[in-house]
Structure 1
């Protein structure tokens, strides 16, 4: 479990005159975790300083008795500037000051400062102090202008869950091939009718995993089906013989070791026939389905449909029965595990289905929470594992992080009732300003033993929401 703090941003794009000679625009105060970044554009084009004077511009964060002076900008007249330089003294506010001789002063300054965040900063105001100095560091005048205010919306910290890594990653490819055989034969002719394309389906499925060095094929399963016309005993022979022929064909191509290829058969595909009839508009559809579902032996059942509903039988024989002669296949394989994050990130872009949830989680830790890359990892993970509760929980947190509450709600509907999932529902309720529901969820998560739920409850009550 990992707790991630929410980013907070206050922005004012307006250009405002703050103190004499200084205007400010594009003010942005952003908190991310344990730090707050302050950015703004200063226009100093109207600032003039006499040659024996100095002007010190210092932003201050202030909240009642708490305050913090940020990095100062000093603009010095010619004599004052060289006084400090020649005497080896630090500038007015110390060595961290950004200093300019008035003749070299830029018209604009992109001001940036990053400082550790403290709780008192929530609700603080950002002021700009202008202090004018003469010789001997004599303070001649002061001005204070307000730049802006930093007030946080209450966004609870989010709890991500690290999934368990799979001991062995297993997956499979499945499909159906409709291989044609001459009447009553079990020999495969690759060029016969559609066989080139149908055999190609199986080959391309095998090749797609066999040519990947990270994958090991563990089994190839084949199940052959025949259609119901003719005797059941004969159809059984055909299903067995044709499946065995396909096994030999694949074995000759790939030379699998041991018993990798296994076979099964279904003499007559009555389930496939029922599926087709049920979705058809045959005149006696209901009666035919009743016969299919009845207790008659296969040969008697097929004969009765043929006798009682000859028109429908003729239609099925021509339009449905060919598709009932098919082979289902499944290629099962294992995928090696990955621990190198750069490799995981590459595979996530190329073949994300090869990764397990823990590997996605490892990749996410490389990105700053809230960034597009961070969000993309969890969204890709939930696409690969759409029904996994942890994948949906982490995707919900990522969605909340970027303000997509609709997606967060959808993902949480597929999360479980773990303490972390209950907590996430409380976090979503806070985002939606449904504080009664938030308290209910947070209290439940707290009772389930999630420590962060208690912390968030205290923060919620402190804000008296």
Structure 2
């Protein structure tokens, strides 16, 4: 009788145990867990995943253990990576796992201690989880999912439904926003301009009288008249003064040629004064004697057989050290005769520069003039023309290119042209505009942007650093953007 009672009790307990196991298997533990403070980052080719597991709402059977495996799963393809798991143990299951002996079917929990926690129901508990894995670009478009298994006895395992913790773990690639602003040019109150021309007038050897009917002088003076009359009739400008420059060819002595260049320049100035009714104080006369620079340029561009020998003499023998005599000795004198006949005459000339003031123009007038006579405009007028176009349009950038080409020595013009080229992602052209202004903090900042576009982050940082040291605020922002970009791409 007692045996029957014992057997009945055993069967009843076994049935209750099986029922309990069945009931436990139906509990969705993962919904009782909350993931908090989730963070993911990428640095130096490593992705770091971290979060806190809040267990406050978990009522875990003392005989159960949750084996939770975080998974990174792509939302676009089949890429999937299982991370290191963590375990939440019931108190009885923890005791069983910690028994000093092995038995068949005993769970081998190969998880570090900081990823294990014994659940005390109805108490506040949490587990901090962190892990790393090699970065791959697909991780930027991946979910964080929890896979959970319930272990309720030695050989009892049941998977629970996956739980999506986050639909996106990493941000998109960092796209830097570099600052490079156009500069508003100052209004030019008086637009003083000038044009340079040359008059190749002929004089009797050793004389300086300007004879209008001597050789080709009539044609040369007619050309001068055409230029001056056109400028006088131009309603866009008012002539203010003239600069007359005299030059001589190298034959004869240096001193005589200096005097000749002076007197011939003065003769041409007197002609201009009388011809066009201007006063003497509107003329500035200057003279330069022998035009060796002009001769050197002409020889460099020639195909003379003795070209290099002539250039060596010009570059290495002083004017008062026998330069002309050495030229006379070349090739038995035949080379000098050729120079005298074909290369010296164009050196005997008067250059003249006509200075004038250009009037102010409204935007519509300026839009037409920038195509044909941009020199009459101010940089500010050009800037106003540019602003009639969308800032990202080719026409907008073209205005600044024209400005720099028209006024190559105007710093603000070339800086603005460089900005336009950088907006068009043409860093090499931008660097060409900036080379003359390398010590300008604005130019340093723009050169930093140019080297970023070329993929040279080392040189970009160098220029940003220099610009920051010079007090450029845009460069400080750009340097920070560059650092974030570098960190994101390590």
**Under TM normalisation by the shorter chain, which class is it?**
0.5 to 0.7
Equivalent residue number for residue 63 of structure 1 = none
| Deviation by residue 1:306-337 (Cα, 9 ceiling, x = unmatched) | 89954444434333343343222222233344
Higher relative helix content: 2
Equivalent of residue 381 in structure 1, options 403, 409, 415 = 403
> Matched residue pairs, number?
316
Partner residue of 2:341? 318
Out of 331, 349, 353, which is 1:330 matched to?
Answer: 353
1:355 to 377, 383, 397: 377
Does structure 1 residue 295 correspond to structure 2 residue 337? no
- Tell me the SS of whatever aligns to 2:281: coil
- Pair 442,195 (structure 1): closer, same or farther in 2 beyond 3 Å: same
Inter-CA distance 306–202: structure 2 relative to 1 (3 Å threshold): farther
Aligned to 1:95: none
Within 1, Cα distance between the matches of 2:432 and 2:322? 49
Q: Secondary structure at the match of 2:196?
A: strand
* Contact preservation (8 Å) 2:177, 2:481: no
Q: How many angstroms does 1:380 deviate by?
A: 1.1
Residues 76-96 of structure 1: per-residue CA shift (max 9 Å, x gap): xxxxxxxxxxxxxxxxxxxxx
Matched, 1:411 2:455: no
Is the partner of 2:416 in helix, strand or coil? helix
Distance in structure 1 (CA, Å) of the matches to 2:364 and 2:370: 10
TM (normalized to structure 2)? 0.52
Distance 1:223 1:341 in 2: 37
Q: Distance in 1 between matches of 2:224 and 2:280?
A: 20
Return 5+ residue gaps in structure 1 as ranges. Answer: 1-122, 125-149
Give the alignment of 1:24-43 within 5 angstroms: none
Partner of 1:451: 473
Contact 2:296/2:314 (8 A) holds in 1? yes
Shift of 1:429: 4.2
Contact 2:296 2:311 in 1 (8 A): no
Alignment-derived partner of residue 171 in structure 1:
193
Q: CA deviation at 1:255?
A: 0.8
1:379-412 per-residue CA deviation (whole Å, 9 max, x = no partner) reads 1112112344432322222122223333233333
**Higher normalized strand content (fraction of residues):** 1
Q: Deviations over 1:124-151 (max 9, x none)?
A: 9xxxxxxxxxxxxxxxxxxxxxxxxx99
Bigger CA radius of gyration:
2
Give yes or no for contact 1:210–1:216 (8 Å, CA) kept in 2: yes
Question: What is the deviation of 1:375?
Answer: 1.0
Between the aligned partners of 1:242 and 1:442, the Cα distance in structure 2 is 55
Would you say 1:342 and 2:364 are equivalent positions?
A: yes
Q: Relative to structure 2, which stretch is displaced further, 378-387 or 177-186?
A: 177-186
CA, structure 1 residues 286+443, in 2 after alignment: closer, same or farther (shift >3 Å)?
closer
Aligned-residue offset at 1:350? 2.7
Compute the displacement of 1:219 (Å): 2.2
Residue 249 (str. 1) matches residue 271 (str. 2): yes
Spell out the pairing of 1:18-417 with structure 2 (5 A cutoff): 153-181=175-203, 188-227=210-249, 242-265=264-287, 280-282=304-306, 285=310, 289=314, 293-295=318-320, 305=328, 310-338=333-361, 340-417=362-439
How far does residue 435 in structure 1 lie from its aligned partner after superposition?
A: 4.9
The verdict on how the C-alpha distance between 1:327 and 1:309 changes in structure 2, with shifts beyond 3 A counting, is farther
Query: How high is the TM-score relative to the length of structure 1?
Result: 0.54
Is the 8 Å Cα contact of residues 178 and 477 (structure 2) preserved in structure 1? Answer: no
Q: Compared with structure 1, are the counterparts of its residues 308 and 214 closer, same or farther at alpha carbon in structure 2 (3 Å cutoff)? A: same
Where 1:172 maps in the other structure, the secondary structure is strand
Q: Is the 8 A contact 2:404 2:414 kept in 1?
A: yes
Find the aligned partners of 2:388 and 2:357 in 1 and give their Cα distance: 26
Cα separation, partners in 2 of 1:296 and 1:196, compared to 1, 3 Å: same
- Give, in angstroms, the shift of residue 352 of structure 1: 0.7
Shift of 1:447: 4.1
Indicate the residue corresponding to 1:92 in structure 2: none
Bigger mean CA deviation after superposition, 154-163 or 309-318? 309-318
The 8 Å contact of residues 327 and 336 in structure 2, kept in 1 or not, is answered as no
SS at match of 1:217: strand
Residues 295/359 of structure 1: CA separation in 2 closer, same or farther (3 Å cut): same
- The separation in 1 between residues aligned to 2:226 and 2:400, in whole angstroms, is 30
Closer, same or farther in 2 for the Cα pair 1:393/1:189, shift >3 Å?
A: same
SS at match of 1:159: coil
Give the alignment's Cα RMSD to 1 decimal. 4.4
